[in-house]
Structure 1
Amino acid sequence: MPNSDNPSFQTEKASERLQRHADEISVRLTERGAVPNFPEPDDRTLRSFSLGEVAEILGVSGSYLRQLSIDGLGTTPETGTAGRRSYTLRQINELRAYLARTRRKEALKFCPRRREGEKLQIISVGGSASTTTSLYLAQGLALQGYRVLAIDLDPDGSLSKMFGYDYPGICFPDRYVSMYGALRYDDDRSSMSSVIRRTHFHGLDLVPGNCELEIFERESTKRFHSEDLRIADASIKMVSALKEVEANYDVVVIRCGGGIFLTAGAYGAATGVLRTVRPEWPEIMSMRISLSFLSHFVSLMEEAGMSVNHHFTKYLVTRHNPRDFSQQEAVAFLRKSLGHGLLTATVWESDAIRDAEVKKRSLYELVAGAVGRSAYEQAMETLNSTNAEVMDIIYEVWGRPPMYVMRASRIAGKASS
């Protein structure tokens, strides 16, 4: 029976009582040191890269890197059996800085970070395989020397889990771990920097996703219906939060989730949109519906006086089986419908990519032997080709000549020969 002896029982709402109990337990757990400020990710490190891999990443010859090492220039690689040299990503970036200083005419090639006057690129990724696409784009950019922030707007934290951050159904009162902390409507909003976590990729940070994001959706829905909240307000808050850390990054990759307001916020804040689609007719129909849905919300933002300017809107075919006739027809249909909006490269259906996901890793983190060399090389070729197109688009926005597609084609040619 209810405890009627408690004088506050008659006036306290059930929701208030439950929250009070949660807060009291949280305080006492913190006093006992049982609740850390933020949970730590699982213990993982990024593998080292062979001299040959580093030569391909930097676009120089292996003999040149070997001579730099012998002369003690740039950075000191790790030396394994038979004198094999390998480099951490941090050492690769140290090499970038050295080469940019000593080969000034090629400084952009080695150090592609944005220069003064070049705008932070915010890329919203949505659609089927958006987690995989966001993961490989963010990590690929980091491997090429960009400073990257990945934002997971999925309440299930699908992208976060790939980086070792897993908060299954957990919220942390007063210690928010997701974008909710930086977007919330009250005066207790967290700073953007407080929700950013480091990853095991040097130069790549993450804002994890968890169930807190559902709170933002509920609050936004309630305010939209009862307090005349404009759909643009979520985007304004997203833009404001990102401005706090704008100087620290070159590219932001946002993995859009299922929430209406969070997705609208991501698309409103974006400078570019990357929409993925599987080359299957039901998927294409689903994408058409979602595009109309997003168009409606963008129009509401524009009506509210917010300028939504995307430098590019591109579409990427994923899980593509080029031997499937029906998929060939679907890809041809998309090219005819979207023209240059559809990226030339497609990401092929790949056992290697699936095997890596089972291990909660990307192919960039694994060596070829972990998933089969042939499948590994084929998958990496399609992933790198896709990333090369996106990076050239970023270069175009920044007013630079394209570089990455040409380099990726050259590397693919070497591999196939």
Structure 2
Amino acid sequence: MNAKLQSTDMVESSADKISRQSQLLSAQLQSIRERLYEPESAKTLKTYTSREVATLLGIAESTLRQMSLDGESAIPDRQDNGRRIYTLSQINQLREHLAHKRPAEALEFLPRRRPGDKLQVIAVANFKGGSAKTTTTVHLAHYLAIHGLRVLAIDLDPQASLSAMFGYQPEFDVDENETIYAAIRYDDARRPIREVIRQTYFDGIDLVPANLELMEYEHETPQAIAEGYGRGNEIFFRRLATVIGEVGADYDVVLIDAPPQLGYLTLGALCAATALMITIHPAMIDVASMNQFLAMMSDLMRVIEERGGVLSHDFIRYVITRHNPNDGPQVNIVTLLRSLFKDDVLAPAVVETTAIASAGLEKKSLYEMSRGSVGRDTLNRALDSVDAVNHEILNHIKQVWGR
């Protein structure tokens, strides 16, 4: 009898079991990351060939070569075979040099916002898993930075997938009070947003990382409202916009990877945003889920407007993701969405491809993949697809700036 009771007492509880498995997985993820990013366990960005740089800058490769010979602006390194290679930081130095040297073409070389141009805050949202929300955010961030813009990426999702894409494992690399929660919390531990912004390995992109402490904001906000944090910039749906405003002069675009639910954090993102990107996987169950998301979002937006919030977005666009153009039902759904939402659906779509899946396994975007990592044709098709989507978004940003 006693032996039977003892064995019952030693049975692992569900909470203990899940906690143990979480710790085991975390340790393995940390080990994998250290192997991938030796010796400093940090991500680094690839370099660019002269041909790639010339294409990005819109100049002849011979012009770039002559600039290098003349010692103009950034001086590239040389590989053993004599080829010149540039870092993204050097490319941005070249942009600034050419913009100064050719003022009539300055906006082509350096398309950053000018005095009077409105900071663009783009929230990427959907509460259906698998809609490629984080993948869309990270590819857009990388694309904008490669084209010379200054980007702040804010990970608002407690699952911290965006942070992981930038090389931060939330339970190891993001300590307590080091997320956006630190800047919008309601107590005396609140910190300026500048103190939680991190530079990344990707020149031109800064990051506010995430971890599970973001859930504290969801738990504390109802009590804060009850205690009187319900006026002016202190009200929950204005807090994110207020802290972004503190650093707005440092950036051209702020990207917010919103959490996959309509909580207080997402409502703050909707209010802070000047534009919304809603990702859609064109499958019937995903579209039905998105319909519920839109209905709930519109109801909550009306509640915010009744409380004095102003929700005016420069553009709202739907992004078709993981699209298989050879799948008949998917094609029918895309056709339906375009007939209903017209130009609000981006004309290009992100195709479903093993290249994006392979990049995701390595915590990379397509812009970081080496040519030998996946098939050349596969990578090129994937890049063409993602480039087309991001190019259209950049054009929307430029239109807001009157370009």
* Fold equivalence (TM over 0.5): yes
**Post-superposition shift, 1:367?**
1.4
**Post-superposition shift, 1:364?**
1.1
**2:260 is matched with which residue: 258, 261, 271?**
258
**2:381 is matched with which residue: 378, 381, 385?**
378
**What amino acid maps onto 1:152 in structure 2?**
D
Q: Where do residues 56-205 of structure 1 align in structure 2 (5 Å cutoff)? A: 56-127=55-126, 128-168=131-171, 172-173=175-176, 176-205=177-206
Please state whether the residue corresponding to 2:104 is helix, strand or coil: helix
Matched residues in 1 for 2:48 and 2:200: separation? 17
Matched residues in 2 for 1:389 and 1:107: separation? 21
Could you tell me which residue of structure 2 aligns to residue 294 of structure 1? 297
Could you tell me which residue of structure 2 aligns to residue 409 of structure 1? none
Identity over aligned residues, as a percent?
43
For structure 2, list consecutive stretches of 5 or more residues without a partner in the other structure: 1-39
Contact 2:282 2:323 in 1 (8 A): yes
Could you tell me which residue of structure 2 aligns to residue 322 of structure 1? 325
**What amino acid maps onto 2:305 in structure 1?**
E
Cα distance change, pair 170–84 in 1 and its aligned pair in 2 (3 A): closer
**Post-superposition shift, 1:258?**
2.9
For structure 1, list consecutive stretches of 5 or more residues without a partner in the other structure: 1-40, 401-417
Please state whether the residue corresponding to 1:168 is helix, strand or coil: helix
Contact 2:322 2:350 in 1 (8 A): yes
**Post-superposition shift, 1:169?**
8.5
Please state whether the residue corresponding to 1:346 is helix, strand or coil: coil
Aligned pair 1:219/2:238, yes or no? no
Please state whether the residue corresponding to 2:114 is helix, strand or coil: coil
**What amino acid maps onto 2:203 in structure 1?**
H
Contact 2:174 2:210 in 1 (8 A): no
Could you tell me which residue of structure 1 aligns to residue 244 of structure 2? 242
Matched residues in 2 for 1:188 and 1:258: separation? 27
Query: CA RMSD for the aligned pairs?
Result: 1.7
Cα deviation, 1:35-54, whole Å, max 9, x if unaligned, reads xxxxxx94121111111111
Could you tell me which residue of structure 1 aligns to residue 22 of structure 2? none
Contact 1:171 1:211 in 2 (8 A): no
Q: What is the number of equivalent residue pairs in this alignment?
A: 357
**Post-superposition shift, 1:135?**
0.2
Please state whether the residue corresponding to 2:170 is helix, strand or coil: coil
Contact 2:200 2:206 in 1 (8 A): yes
Matched residues in 2 for 1:80 and 1:169: separation? 36
**What amino acid maps onto 1:81 in structure 2?**
D
**Post-superposition shift, 1:294?**
1.0
Matched residues in 2 for 1:258 and 1:195: separation? 22
Matched residues in 1 for 2:242 and 2:138: separation? 24
Contact 1:171 1:212 in 2 (8 A): no
**What amino acid maps onto 1:221 in structure 2?**
P
Contact 1:148 1:204 in 2 (8 A): yes
Contact 1:151 1:207 in 2 (8 A): yes
Could you tell me which residue of structure 2 aligns to residue 44 of structure 1? 43
**What amino acid maps onto 1:248 in structure 2?**
D
Matched residues in 2 for 1:191 and 1:279: separation? 40
**Post-superposition shift, 1:141?**
0.5
**What amino acid maps onto 1:184 in structure 2?**
R
Contact 1:170 1:211 in 2 (8 A): no
Contact 1:146 1:203 in 2 (8 A): yes
- TM-score for both structures, normalised by structure 1: 0.83
**Post-superposition shift, 1:171?**
7.4
Cα deviation, 1:50-76, whole Å, max 9, x if unaligned, reads 111112211222222122212221211
- TM-score for both structures, normalised by structure 2: 0.85
Contact 1:125 1:276 in 2 (8 A): yes
Could you tell me which residue of structure 1 aligns to residue 270 of structure 2? 267
Contact 2:197 2:207 in 1 (8 A): yes
